[in-house]
Amino acid sequence: MTLAVVVLAAGQGKRMRSRRPKVLHRLAGRPLLGHVLDTAQSLHPDRIVIVYGHEGEQVRAEMSQRGCSWVEQKERLGTGHAVAQAMPLIRDMDRVLVLYGDVPLIATGTLARLIEASASGPIGVLTSVVEDPTGYGRIIRDVNTGRILRSVEQKDAGPQELVVNEVNTGILVAERNRLDSWLGRLRSDNAQGEHYLTDVIAMAVEEGESVASAEPGCIEEVSGVNDRIQLAALERFAQRRLAEQLMRDGVTLADPARIDIRGRLETGEDVTIDINLVVEGLVRLGSTVSIGPNCLIRDSVIADGVEILAGCVIEGATIGPGSRVGPFARLRPEAKLASETHVGNFVEIKKSTIGDRSKVNHLTYVGDARIGSGVNVGAGTITCNYDGANKHLTVVGDDVFIGSNTALVAPVTVGKGATIGAGSVINRDAPAGELTVARARQVTVNGWQRPVKAPKT
């Protein structure tokens, strides 16, 4: 049995008030449509067709690596019309599942239940019982048998139909050939003048068919995004769900409501995370990692026993076991810290390696450098790695002591065991095991007077 998934993603989303297509707005760091495609692909369908429309080239460009088929809905004539555009691309399929690019949190298990429920019949719909059905189409059932008779959009519903609180989510699965036939008979004589996909339910019933149904685990699974308020509500729901999974995996969260995962976070045992962590891309945390408040970590690997203190920004970095970073440190891409390193407050490290047990504790910039093990880099030290056109390498050997307020003008090498006097500007290699000092001679100017402000006239 072959399965095609048709994803409707042609809507303009006027209420978003954005130049960006609605389905490309982000939830938990990924486009809405990306969430839907991830779920669709988890079902291992034989084909996925995306129906695009408004600013469609943006959508295609962002999703070009997904391996999907594309078809344009040039006129916005309703959901039924949108699905009809995809039918020529799936003529060789047996069944069709229809999803929506702005309904991002639909779960694989829910769709699997729907497909299973409808396996013996021509059509199945996903319905949900809600406290407030406003805005949804209503599922009308036979009061005696409970069989589904039809779906009525709110604008077309009468007083008795409006009190029904079982709603049609719009998600359905059907035999392709039967759906093709029903779509060809859709009419637009309704309040919105559109071809409603949901009208195929009544057509199936008129032909004597039973309409199967299934329900989602929660209403958020089938909640659509029409404006930024709804997007924010789903963001908080998604983040809470991610936080709960972290806690099930053994992570201690100081406040589950104050963590934002905008990518993927992998954790070892006994990880502790304080408030307001933002995770982007893929982040891997080892066991017994501790992260302080108000940190951003992006695409980084952090080994066992690392302590990240408050206010750190870590992106594209690797941190070795037992290290301590922060507070208020920044590790930029290709920063690599070995084991038991210390990187302190207001330190920035970029494209550099820091060896075992080395310390860069205060007010320092290290860029394009190789720092050995057991090195102490004094406060205010900088590597002058850029000459205005090119970057150059600084190499510091093991067991070097660099005094405060030193400038290392690359390319330069400081030999093993060397000591650099505070306030030095090192623009030639410093030999191993020796004290190197490079300062201007200190001069006292006798009788010099500090300028004073002129009196006001």
Residues written for the chain: 457
Q: Amino acid identity, residue 446?
A: N
Distance (Å, whole) CA 371 – CA 397: 6
Q: How many helices (H) and strands (E) does the chain have?
A: 8, 39
Q: At what angle do helices 32-42 and 108-117 cross, to 10 degrees?
A: 50
CB–CB of 116/39 below 8 Å? no
189: helix, coil or strand? coil
SS3 at position 162:
helix
Tokens in use for 364? Answer: 């320092």
Give the sign of the dihedral formed by CA 431, CA 435, CA 441, CA 442. Answer: positive
Q: How many CB atoms lie within 10 A of CB 188?
A: 14
Which CA distances in Å does 317 have to 19, 249, 285, 366, 383?
34, 24, 12, 14, 19
Rounded to the nearest 10°, the torsion over CA 390, 394, 395, 398 is -160
Q: How far is residue 256 CA from its own chain's centroid?
A: 17
The 10 Å Cβ neighbour count of residue 11 is 23
Per-residue burial over 74-113, b if 16 or more Cβ lie within 10 Å, else e, is eeebbbbbbbbbbbebbeebebbbbbbbbbbbbbeebbeb
Under 8 Å CB-to-CB from 447, ≥6 apart: which residues? none
Residues 6+ apart with CB under 8 A from 380: 362, 363, 364, 404, 405, 406
Pairing status of strand 435-436 against strand 394-396: unpaired
Token pair for 255: 């406040």
Catalytic site includes residue 362? yes
Q: Are 203 and 175 in contact (CB under 8 A)?
A: no
Please provide the DSSP assignment of 37-63 as one string: HHHHHHT--SEEEEEE-TTHHHHHHHT
Catalytic positions are 362
